[in-house]
């Protein structure tokens, strides 16, 4: 029995580490939802931005605690082992990632306007929904981006790299990233494929940089620029409040169809170009904290 649980070095085997994480995260999701209903709180979407922020904070905070606990329990290490050192310089990596994450979206919008298949107008941002929708959406967006990166490109990528190798870990986590969006409104095969490709490249960026803060910034920068700046439909969801409203028209391969711009070929090409350049040998990122 001990051989099933532990390897020849006496460490808990990778599958059990992953299963333990999944079981604990699932338990947290259940507890949060049960507690939410017991308190008779409004739905996270129907209740407005601040309720959604509360939900995002509970999920991401609990998940961080669980993963730090598992790192301590199984490896006798801390958050720094998954690229999440809690030190002041971390904000630089997060800011750098945010800028890089915004770049493909800006390139896409610029192309759509120049090529004539996109138009831009003032968004639906008002004084009222600035605090009721936009501000909590930005904070919740950062927390949820952090949650996804913590689970996929943080703990899971590390465990799979230790049990298999970095390349296999990157492909597996990228594929899972795509599949996680299969239940989104308007999901189509292009969107899931391109999301998986993007997730794989993000995994490789994690391997190259060793900084989860960088990945959290990238994920947040992508979402916030598309959703809150340009008002683009993001993974099937429309923006509640945005500074601008960009509309894409034309064939599905240009607009992404029902899934939104992330299922468009130009968006995928720009993301590959930006991430490919950023993770190339010439632009090695090992110095990023």
* Residue 289, domain member (yes or no): no
Q: What's the mean pLDDT when you consider all of the chain? A: 87
The gap from C-alpha 95 to its chain's centroid, in whole angstroms, comes to 15
* Residue 288, domain member (yes or no): no
pTM of the predicted model, to two decimals? 0.91
* Residue 72, domain member (yes or no): yes
- Say how far apart CA 107 and CA 271 lie, in whole Å: 9
Partners of 244 in beta bridges? 122
Is pLDDT of 11 > 80? Answer: no
pLDDT for the residue numbered 14: 85
Tokens of 21: 């994480």
- Say how far apart CA 45 and CA 222 lie, in whole Å: 21
Contact yes or no for 278/211 (Cβ under 8 A) = no
Q: How far is CA 14 from CA 7, 25, 165, 168, in A?
A: 9, 17, 12, 14
Partners of 234 in beta bridges? 237
pLDDT tier, 177 (very low <50, low <70, confident <90, very high otherwise)? very high
* Residue 61, domain member (yes or no): yes
Percent of the chain with pLDDT over 90: 57
Contact yes or no for 190/259 (Cβ under 8 A) = yes
pLDDT tier, 1 (very low <50, low <70, confident <90, very high otherwise)? low
Interval 252-274 mean pLDDT: 92
Is pLDDT of 30 > 80? Answer: yes
Question: What angle separates helix 265-278 from helix 90-115, to the nearest 10 degrees?
Answer: 140
pLDDT for the residue numbered 45: 61
Interval 82-107 mean pLDDT: 91
Q: How far is CA 101 from CA 44, 90, 178, 220, in A?
A: 26, 17, 17, 7
The total number of structural domains that make up the chain = 1
pLDDT tier, 289 (very low <50, low <70, confident <90, very high otherwise)? very low
Question: What angle separates helix 135-149 from helix 49-75, to the nearest 10 degrees?
Answer: 20
Q: Is the dihedral of CA 234, 239, 241, 243 positive or negative?
A: positive
Interval 82-101 mean pLDDT: 90
* Residue 193, domain member (yes or no): yes
Percent of the chain with pLDDT over 70: 91
* Residue 262, domain member (yes or no): yes
* Residue 71, domain member (yes or no): yes
Model confidence over 185-230: pLDDT tens digits?
A: 878 888 899 999 999 999 999 998 889 999 999 999 999 999 899 9
Beta strands in the chain (DSSP E): 118-122, 244-248
In this structure, the number of other CB atoms found within 10 A of the CB of residue 37 comes to 10
* Residue 268, domain member (yes or no): yes
Q: How far is CA 42 from CA 61, 77, 141, 143, 172, in A?
A: 21, 39, 19, 20, 36
Model confidence over 275-287: pLDDT tens digits?
A: 988 887 544 444 3
- How many helices (H) does the chain have, and how many strands (E)? 12, 2
More confident residue, 135 or 131: 135
Model confidence over 66-89: pLDDT tens digits?
A: 999 999 999 899 999 999 998 877
Domain that holds residue 60: 2-283
């Amino acid at each position: 029995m001990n051989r099933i649980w532990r390897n020849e070095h006496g460490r808990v085997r990778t599958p059990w580490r992953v299963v333990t994480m999944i079981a604990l995260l699932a338990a947290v999701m259940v507890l949060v939802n049960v507690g939410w209903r017991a308190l008779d709180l409004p739905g996270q979407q129907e209740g407005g931005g601040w309720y959604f922020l509360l939900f995002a904070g509970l999920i991401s905070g609990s998940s961080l605690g669980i993963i730090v606990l598992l790192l301590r329990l199984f490896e006798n290490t801390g958050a720094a082992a998954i690229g999440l050192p809690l030190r002041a310089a971390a904000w630089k990596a997060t800011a750098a990632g945010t800028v890089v994450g915004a770049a493909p979206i800006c390139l896409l919008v610029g192309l759509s306007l120049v090529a004539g298949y996109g138009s831009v107008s003032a968004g639906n941002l008002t004084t009222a929904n600035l605090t009721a929708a936009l501000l909590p959406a930005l904070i919740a967006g950062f927390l949820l981006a952090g949650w996804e990166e913590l689970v996929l490109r943080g703990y899971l990528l590390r465990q799979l790299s230790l049990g298999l190798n970095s390349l296999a870990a990157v492909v597996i986590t990228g594929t899972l990233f795509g599949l996680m969006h299969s239940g989104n409104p308007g999901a189509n095969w292009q969107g899931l494929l391109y999301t998986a490709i993007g997730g794989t490249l993000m995994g490789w960026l994690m391997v190259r940089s060793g900084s989860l803060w960088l990945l959290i910034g990238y994920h947040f920068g992508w979402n916030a620029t598309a959703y809150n700046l340009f008002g683009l439909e993001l993974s099937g969801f429309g923006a509640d409040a945005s500074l601008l409203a960009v509309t894409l028209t034309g064939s599905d391969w240009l607009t992404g169809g029902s899934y939104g711009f992330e299922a468009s070929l130009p968006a995928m090409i720009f993301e590959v170009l930006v991430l490919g350049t950023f993770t190339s040998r010439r632009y090695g990122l090992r110095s990023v904290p």
